[in-house]
Structure 1
Amino acid sequence: MDPVHFAARDRADITGRADLDALLRRFYTAAFADPQIGPFFTEIAGTRLDIHMPRITDFWERALFRSAEYQRNAFAPHAALHSVEPMTAEHFGRWVQLWHATIDGLHAGPNAERAKAQGERIAVAMLKRLSGGRLDTSGDGTGFIPLAAVELRAAA
């Protein structure tokens, strides 16, 4: 068996809030330290992980399992950040790359795949709203697809 399939077999799927909490802590540790997107969290937003974690875990628990009460506006903080420092397709692509890598490092299965796909959809939707409905359609005219996600899939 090739190493990719062997490794995937050894990783459990995301099954609930405890898995999401561990996944999100690892993801945000990487995101905060990332030179490309980290400053959005640390310098611009001044995000405190201890305050952010319950909210974002509620968000992902609702997104994946429809089992949490997330009643906040997820777009508003991103719009506020964007007004201070514009977020580009490259920023969202890096977010997706880190999201995929974090999930792939911990989990494999249908929920893990759904979390990656949902992350891509969220990135595209956020970028589209932040850019006033206009996506960069340079190239083949299909709109924004996070390049980092495509490269990550090609490497797998």
Structure 2
Amino acid sequence: MRASRAVRDIGSRDDLDVLLRRFYEAAFADPLIGPFFTEIAGTDLDAHLPRITDFWERALFRAAEYRRDAFAPHAALHSARPLTAAHFGRWVQLWHATVDGLHQGPVAERAKAQGERIALAMLRRLGGRDASTDAPEGVGGSGGFVPLAALRLRSVA
């Protein structure tokens, strides 16, 4: 019988660093979204990680300074190769899986919800649609982005 490890909430910048490193390692390896990081952007994880950790520390704890334009790099990627609803949907799936694999609690839930909001906002802005629009093109369609919070997931016994 395996002993289960205690899973705790995201509580510090160090937790975010571990979470984000694991997430980006999975994202880089993913066949759908990995090429955006590895081939198009040529992302250096060690250089990128402190900035993205600042972003999430600010988003979740209001503790870090983050004064960059998070949209600009995504717009540049979109110009090189269009980012679609399927790309953002996969990002959300990987984000949820990574958060759930390491943490549970109110901050972890907030991180997942914030990730969904960010993905949907980016998708809307890249598609040229107003953020107040109910459904950007591709949402809910074949292969499109469906926020995971909108799905009822059931485990099969």
Same fold (TM over 0.5): yes
Over 3 Å counting, the alpha-carbon distance change for 1:114 and 1:82 in structure 2 is same
Equivalent residues of 1:136, 1:144 under 8 A apart: no
Structure 1: 4+ residue segments shifted above 4 A: 137-140, 150-153
TM-score (norm 1): 0.86
Unpaired segments ≥5 residues, structure 1: 1-6
Pick one of 96, 101, 117 that aligns with 1:105.
Answer: 101
Partner SS state of residue 154, structure 1: coil
Higher helix content, 1 or 2:
1
Partner of 2:7: 11
Partner of 2:153: 154
Give the % identical residues: 72
Pick one of 30, 35, 41 that aligns with 1:45.
Answer: 41
The amino acid across from 1:117 in the alignment is: A
Over 3 Å counting, the alpha-carbon distance change for 1:36 and 1:155 in structure 2 is farther
Partner of 1:23: 19
Over 3 Å counting, the alpha-carbon distance change for 1:138 and 1:60 in structure 2 is closer
Q: CA deviation at 1:53?
A: 0.3
Partner of 1:56: 52
Q: CA RMSD in A?
A: 2.3
TM-score (norm 2): 0.85
Over 3 Å counting, the alpha-carbon distance change for 1:100 and 1:131 in structure 2 is same
Pick one of 48, 70, 77 that aligns with 2:73.
Answer: 77
Q: CA deviation at 1:151?
A: 8.4
The amino acid across from 2:12 in the alignment is: G
